Amino acid sequence: MIDHLGLQAADLDAAAAFYDTVLGALGHRRMMDFGEAIGYGTEQPSFWISRQQTGDGFRESHIAFTAPDRATVDAFFAAAIGRGAEVLHEPRLWPEYHEHYYGTFVRDPDGNNIEAVCHRPQ
């Protein structure tokens, strides 16, 4: 449903290192790098990070990345904590969302709530 999404990063280098690692665990890669903006995806860049340019202050964003299976959610979590991410919720089932919702939530270097989720039974 979303064509692409972009976030501004206070420290683009830290954000790029984080997303290179955790999105790599989900099978995505850095596809475009313009120095001030970096695009990630598989066939086309659908997630972008760029240097913060809109002044001071912060509003937390929540982004959920789809994982094909629970093992990939676990790999995302391991990659994130390996990069020093703050753990919001370790990987687990979230039956309040639906029976097979398996997800994990971490904070990226800018404090955004980043999730990996699998909607399949396994």
Q: Measured between alpha carbons, how far is 4 from 70 in angstroms, rounded to an integer?
A: 24
Mean pLDDT of 24-46: 95
Residue 57's Cβ-side half-sphere holds a number of Cα atoms within 13 Å equal to 3
Give per-residue pLDDT as tens, 36-71. 999 999 998 999 999 887 777 777 889 999 999 999
Instruction: Delineate the domains of the chain, giving CATH numbers in brackets.
Output: 5-51+61-118 (3.10.180.10)
| Tokens (6 digits) for 54 | 């809109």
pLDDT tens digits for range 76-121: 999 999 999 999 999 999 999 999 999 999 999 999 999 999 999 9
CB 50 within 8 A of CB 36: yes
H runs (alpha helix) in 26-122: 70-82
Residues in Cβ contact with 54 at an 8 Å cutoff, skipping those fewer than 6 apart: 8
